[in-house]
Copies of this chain bind each other. A is one copy, B any other.
Amino acid sequence: MPQEKVRSEAWDHKQPEPLGRATIHTVAEVAGVSSATVSRVLNQSPLVASHTRERVYRAIEETGFRSPSRLARALRTNRTGILGLLVENIMNPYYAVLARAVDDVAKEEGFVVIVSNDDGCEKVGVERLYTFGSVNVDGVLVAPGALEGKRRDAAREIKAQGAAVIGLGDCLGESEFDVIGVDLQEAAYKVCNHLLSLGHRHIGFVGPIIKTDRCLGYEQALRDSGLSSHLLTMPYVGTREDLVEALREELPSFIEARGITAIIGHSDFIALKILRVVREMGLRVPEDISIVGFDNIPESTMTVPPLASVAIPHREMAAAAIVTIQKRLANEISSPVVCQIHQAKLCMRGSVGSKNCS
């Protein structure tokens, strides 16, 4: 008891604290209400008298209170308002565009997004996912969307913690997680058929060793026309620095030995490099060879000739992904797994022409 008294006296002398944010308590004191009431005002609770509300608003003004601490709020509500976005490499324009779309939508919805790169490496990916868990993210977006092996285990764990997990983009086959995808198999199928309609008969595909849906669509189209496919696979296609050198080495024999007159690249990233290398080889584009890529990155409109490409509806997908996260968090989705497939858009440009056009 006496100790209590002493303390109270000491408090009378306390200085105004210039450091740190104003808290809900600062506001409450100034407004002459309890912090619970301030909290209610902040959370738009209807059961606050309007004159009290007014007083609180004034106090917020006076104290320079900005917004409730997300940390503290999160600790109570179990919602941080933080999203984790795991991409291969933000320097790859495909992911940069995706990250931008996610950030834009997230901003509108009041989320903040942590972006991490894993270079497609499982070990790093797992680490980053656990890090997302330690931050108690509300949701995780993984691009590309395939979650297998240890990454799947990690994803399961953070899902068990209450976070929504969404695969974004490329995701072959079944997934135990929600997926917002894009039908690139269909798109590749169409692209290949377009090339066939232009008279091309020897059409090559250059991509990573792992067989992607883009590759499958390409193969399907050729199969349906009774033609055989020509694959050139390159390890670590999205990351390697020496890609151009590798292409210089591989492309000439690939093209000449098979009489190839059109190449579909797995991405614009690689297609742009193919474009460069075939021109170094003295081939004219599209007169001697047509080139198409995927992703429709900004640079693709900048080359001479501009690169034909397949545009992925990033914005649309980002929006769908975040809506799905919100619904999951609100428990508004009953189905165990959402799988929403969007359509890609073909952008035919100068790098594609009919066979032997001149």
**Do the beta carbons of A113 and B112 come within 8 Å of each other?**
no
Instruction: Give bound CA distance, A244 to B304, whole Å.
Output: 13
Say yes or no: B91 contacts A97, CB within 8 Å. Answer: yes
**Of residues 51 to 72 in A, which have CB atoms within 8 Å of B's CB atoms?**
66-72
- The residue of chain B having its C-beta at the shortest distance from the C-beta of A276 within the complex is B302
A114 at interface by CB-CB < 8 Å: yes
Question: Are B18 and A160 in touch, CB under 8 angstroms?
Answer: yes
- Whole-angstrom distance between the Cβ of A248 and the nearest chain B Cβ: 13
Chain A interface residue bracket vs B = 35 or more
**In whole angstroms, how far apart are the Cα atoms of A178 and B16 in the complex?**
27
This chain: how many copies in the complex? Answer: 2
Q: Which of A131-139, A220-228, A334-342 makes up part of the contact surface?
A: A131-139
| Residue in chain B with minimal CB distance to A137 | B112
Within 8 A of B (CB), among A19-43: 19-21
Residues of B within 8 A of A19 (CB): 160-162
- A295 interface residue, CB < 8 Å from B? no
Q: In the docked arrangement, what's the CA distance between A21 and B302, Å?
A: 49
Q: Does A298 lie within 8 Å of B135, measured CB to CB?
A: no
Most buried by B among A66, A115, A161: A115
Q: Does A130 count as interface, using CB distance less than 8 angstroms?
A: yes
Q: Is the CB of B71 within 8 A of A90?
A: no
Q: Which of B74, B107, B114 meets A112, CB within 8 Å?
A: B114
- Please, which residue of chain B has its CB at the minimum distance from the CB of A89? B100
Known: A100-B90, A160-B18. A82 touches B135 (CB 8 A): yes
Of B68, B80, B114, B116, the residue contacting A71 (CB under 8 A) is: B80
Is A349 on the interface with B (CB-CB < 8 A)?
Answer: no
- A72–chain B nearest beta-carbon distance, Å: 6
Q: Decide yes or no: A103 and B75 within 8 Å by CB, A70-B135, A91-B93 being known contacts.
A: no
Interchain CB contact under 8 A, B134 and A91 = no
Q: Is A157 part of the binding interface, using a Cβ–Cβ cutoff of 8 Å?
A: yes
CB-defined contacts of A316 to chain B, threshold 8 Å: none
Interface 1/0 per residue, A76-88 and B, CB below 8 Å: 0000101000000
In the complex, are the beta carbons of B80 and A90 less than 8 A apart? Answer: no
Mask: chain A, 152-170; 1 = CB below 8 Å from B; 0 = not: 0000010011100000000
Inside 8 A of A131's CB, which chain B residues have their CB? Answer: 112
Contacts of A107 in B (CB 8 A): 116, 128
Instruction: Tell me the bound Cα distance from A301 to B117 in angstroms.
Output: 23
The reply to whether A130 and B66 form a contact with Cβ atoms under 8 Å apart is: yes
Task: Report how far A276 CA is from B130 CA in the complex, Å.
Answer: 45
Q: Is A258 an interface residue (CB 8 A)?
A: no
Interface string of A294-312 (1 = CB under 8 A from B): 0000110111100000000
Q: List 28 A-B contacts (CB under 8 A).
A: A19-B161, A20-B160, A66-B134, A67-B134, A68-B134, A70-B134, A70-B136, A71-B71, A71-B80, A71-B135, A71-B136, A90-B100, A90-B103, A91-B96, A91-B97, A93-B93, A99-B115, A103-B116, A107-B128, A112-B114, A112-B131, A112-B135, A273-B302, A276-B304, A279-B304, A280-B304, A299-B299, A303-B303
